[in-house]
Amino acid sequence: MIKAENVNYIYQKGTPFERQALFDINLEIADGSLVALIGHTGSGKSTLIQLFNALVKPTSGRILVDGIDVTAQKADLRLIRRMVGLVFQYPEHQLFEETVYKDIAFGPTNMGLSEKEIDERVRKSAALVGLKEKHLERSPFDLSGGQKRRAAIAGVLAMEPKVLILDEPTAGLDPKGRDDILNTIKRLHEENSDMIIIFVSHSMEDVAKTAERVIVMNEGRIETEGSVAEVFTQAERLQRIGLNVPQITLLTDKLRNAGFNLPEEIYTVKYAAKAIAALVGGDGNA
């Protein structure tokens, strides 16, 4: 479980550039959750996720991961980084080894595991993200954009974290690459029943398709949180802070206002197709 208590964060404190990025964040994320973190650029999302694995320390307040205070002065950073895996934006930019295999092995090697254990983990996490054996011996720079990203994610997965955080995992990918990543996230969630997965996203469609819970950030504060349905039924509130609901929800809202009897919590195309089909009498195979 992740628990944040009264967390504040101030950038470059004591300089003329001082700026508060997070205000009094209180948060609880239960084991096994699949959470989407959404918010406008500069809303504090990236700062918040970096706090979770102690890359930056809060100005005040504390964060507990599985009861361990990651914000403590003498926190065991190695342990925390093993527990909380962080996949940055465009993670493929951090690939550096000669082969994909070696790159994925970088994390486990730093953890000081045995060679056998490392080998097992590399193959397991490569398979998890859908990389084939033949890819492992290639140079990471010869892979396609989507494959590179999956290799980079495998590099974090190989550390077998309890909490996996992904910062905009689908940014800059084509629709196929997007779906691959989102399906990987879903599969990870299904196969690891107590792993916490948090992903930052700008795409409400991705959030609706993948997440179970949504945390909305605005100007360094938590604006609202709840299940996907709870959050996306507050269209007006989201729009006020520069976010949106999925386009399909906007469409069905319009249809409903025009007199069609559609349910309120439609946020995926699939569900919309079913609902509309039920209304007009069809099989709903969109």
Partner 1 sequence: MLKDITIGQYIPGSSPLHKMHAPLKIILTILYITVLFFVDSPVSYAIFTVYTVALVLISGVPLKVLLRGVKPMLWIFIFTAILNVFMTPGEIIWSLPIFRFTLKITNEGLAAGVTMAVRLLYLIMGTSLLTLTTSPLQLTDGIEKLLKPLRKIKVPSHEIAMMMTIAIRFIPTLAEETDKIKKAQTARGADFETGNIIKRAKAMIPLLVPLFISAFRRADDLATAMEARCYNGGDNRTRMKESHMTALDVKAIVISILAAAVVLLAEFWT
Give the footprint of partner 1 on this chain (CB under 8 A): 50, 53, 55, 78, 81-82, 85-86, 88, 91, 93-96, 106-107, 110-111, 141, 155-156, 159
Q: How far is the CB of 85 from partner 1 (least distance, A)?
A: 7
Q: How far is the CB of 141 from partner 1 (least distance, A)?
A: 7
Give 78 or 240: the residue with its C-beta nearer to partner 1: 78
Give 86 or 217: the residue with its C-beta nearer to partner 1: 86
Give 107 or 177: the residue with its C-beta nearer to partner 1: 107
Give 10 or 255: the residue with its C-beta nearer to partner 1: 10
Give 53 or 203: the residue with its C-beta nearer to partner 1: 53
Question: Look-up: residue for tokens 């080894």?
Answer: 97
Give 136 or 207: the residue with its C-beta nearer to partner 1: 136
Q: How far is the CB of 131 from partner 1 (least distance, A)?
A: 17
Burial zone of 185 (CB within 10 Å; 0-12 exposed, 13-18 middle, 19+ buried): buried
Nearest to 100 by CA among 65, 153, 147, 139: 139
Q: How far is the CB of 55 from partner 1 (least distance, A)?
A: 5
Q: How far is the CB of 142 from partner 1 (least distance, A)?
A: 13
Q: How far is the CB of 102 from partner 1 (least distance, A)?
A: 11
Q: How far is the CB of 106 from partner 1 (least distance, A)?
A: 6
Which token pair is 264?
Answer: 């309120």
Give 88 or 271: the residue with its C-beta nearer to partner 1: 88
